[in-house]
Structure 1
Amino acid sequence: MKIKRSAATIIGEVSALILTFLTHWVVFYFIIINSFKTRAEAARLSLAFPKKWQIIENYSYILSYGDGLFFRSMWNSIRLTIISIVILVLVASMTGYIMQRRQGKFSKISNKLILAGLIVPPSVISTYWILSQLGVVGTLAGLTLVEVATMFPFSVMIYKGYMATIPRDIDAAAIIDGCSASRLYFQIIFPILKPITATIVILRSVVVYNDFANPLYYMSGARNSTIQLFVYTFQSAFLTQWNYLFAAIVLISLPPFILYLILNKRILEGVTAGAVKG
């Protein structure tokens, strides 16, 4: 059975494809092609092919810049991302589970606090003061706490919505069989959360990995540099090395792209599953 589509529908679909092409693929092409140019050509910021190809030189310069600064920054960003996401998944999923299963005054207050966390912007000064009081300012541990705290409200709401699709009968049956609370969650509930967990991992990993402001505020020194701070070294108010800047962008884009290829099948499933019930 063929479904007839109106002319307006076809025009809308074509327009969406053209808009996607202009806003995404042209940008990708622009970055990649300028990473192959010399400094003078890249400074023109054009879409033209380079007159002189300088691929190996540009990428070799990035990898050897600052006595291995790229690899140190990449390692710091990967560690920060992995540790933050692991803590976030564990804490947010357990919080979402408790908030969805236990209804009462505590749940209503918790919902309001979580909602406030989504609306109220964090304060840099007060956050810095708290980290200094904890003795973790300027460290990876302190930055991890900041990343987890900023992503916590969104992740809890996503987990809570998905948790509503899991029947309570599963909990009751497990408890009747003598299952402890920890075993109930980690062996029964948490494995069911794989689709939404994959969604959280992808969406929040990109946020942590691409974060520029928090490392700039709460970290210092080349030893603690993240990959976004590394890219920033090629841009200044008076001189921007565009060929090196674009080459660095291409290299730092590879880890999120690989992560997306591995987990992309679960993204749509996880996002739409919690939309049925809230």
Structure 2
Amino acid sequence: MSSETHRLQQRTRLMVDARTYLSPTDTQTLTGHTRHTLRLRVDEGSLVAHRVGTRTFSYRTDSVITYCQRRHPEFTLFDRLDSAEGELITEPELTAELDHAPAGTWWTLARRDHCPPDWPTWQAWYQGETERAEQVLAEQQSRWEQENARLRARGVLRRTLWVPAQPLSGYGRYCLARYRHVVAAGGQVRVLPAWKCTHLEHRRSLPDLEVLPGVVYARRHTHLGSRTGALRIQDPGLSGALHEFLTWASDRQALSLIGFTRWRHPLQGAA
């Protein structure tokens, strides 16, 4: 990993936090400035800070982000992703390539909170037939179990990081039900609440991604939200950095699906 990609990854990790103020150390990492230079930027009005000691400041996060983004067009890994060149592929082409994923970890980043009722189970749920949707999802578990076994036999570990907004939308509630069945079938799903990404989404929402060894697929959607293929980005450095970030976010910042459900319903979780 290049030194610049490493810096992008450091900044991206620090942005997974909804803190209003940043410590001097974190602010130095984000800006690349010394503490003396940071104090000068405060004096000139470029940064907003709060004095917490005779010589110590904490720095307002939104002012630090705005300051950095004026000077660094590529501030995070997702800025690098947004400017990366690639090849547009159709939804069937994407499905075919994912079916032949190479050995290693296949990460899915799922962020969208809305989608037209294109899938039969989501269509049933959308129409209020939640029990029928749940029944069909339960019936799909055996297929997901077979798919997981097929992937493991080829050395592929599939992991999903779901980033839902709260309160959950109708589609979000459907996704929660669907992921429960995916996990019951042996799938690996972790939940990173969207509020943790408030600063990371300062410019734009996180994309839906498929990250495989050596390649990143940035999913594309119609103006109504239907899937319409992806941008295939052949960049081992970017793929590796996103893999490391998603692994870190999943292991250090996210909740299990059960933990997320209990966190949303504390009284139910305590029963």
> Normalising by structure 2, what TM-score?
0.24
Whose helix fraction is larger, Structure 1's or Structure 2's? 1
> Greater relative contact order (Cα 8 A, min sep 6): structure 1 or 2?
1
Q: Which has the larger radius of gyration?
A: 1
**Whose strand proportion is higher, 1 or 2?**
2
